[in-house]
Amino acid sequence: MSNSLFFGIELSIAAQAYVLGLIDRFKHLAPKAEWTTPEKLHLTLLFVGKRDNEQEVADTAERALLNVDRCELKLVGAGMFARPPVLYLAVRGAVAPLDKARSVLANDIGGVKNSFSSWTPHLTLAKGPPLDDLGTANIEIEKVTRDVAFTVDHVTLYKTVGGGQPYKEVRKYWTRG
pLDDT at 116: 54
Angle at 44 between CA 159 and CA 161, to 5 degrees: 20
Q: At residue 117, does pLDDT exceed 70? A: no
Q: Note down the domain range covering 112.
A: 3-174
Q: What is the pTM of this model?
A: 0.91
Q: At residue 128, does pLDDT exceed 90? A: no
Q: At residue 28, does pLDDT exceed 90? A: yes
Average pLDDT in the 91-105 region? 91
* pLDDT tens track for 129-175: 778 889 999 999 999 999 999 999 999 999 998 777 789 999 999 99
Amino acid letter, residue 105: L
Q: Return the higher-pLDDT residue of 148 and 104.
A: 148
pLDDT at 55: 93
Tell me which residue of 121, 128, 12 sits closest to 77, measured CA to CA.
Answer: 121
Q: At residue 11, does pLDDT exceed 90? A: yes
What's the structural domain count of the chain?
1
Q: Return the higher-pLDDT residue of 175 and 118.
A: 175
* pLDDT tens track for 33-69: 999 999 999 999 999 999 988 999 999 999 889 889 9
Strands (E) in 10-153, as ranges, are 34-35, 43-51, 71-81, 86-93, 122-127, 148-152
pLDDT at 114: 60
Contacts of 9 (CB under 8 A, 6+ apart): 42, 43, 44, 45, 73, 98, 152, 155, 156
- Domain of 153, CATH number, reads 3.90.1140.10
Q: Percentage of the chain with pLDDT > 90?
A: 71
pLDDT at 129: 79
Question: What is the rounded CA–CA span in Å between residue 19 and residue 60?
Answer: 32
Could you say which DSSP state residue 28 is in?
G
Amino acid letter, residue 99: D
Alpha-carbon distances of 12 from 53, 71, 81, 129, rounded to whole Å: 30, 13, 25, 29
Tell me which residue of 133, 102, 129 sits closest to 116, measured CA to CA.
Answer: 102
Dmax over Cα atoms in the chain, in whole Å? 45
Average pLDDT in the 102-130 region? 82
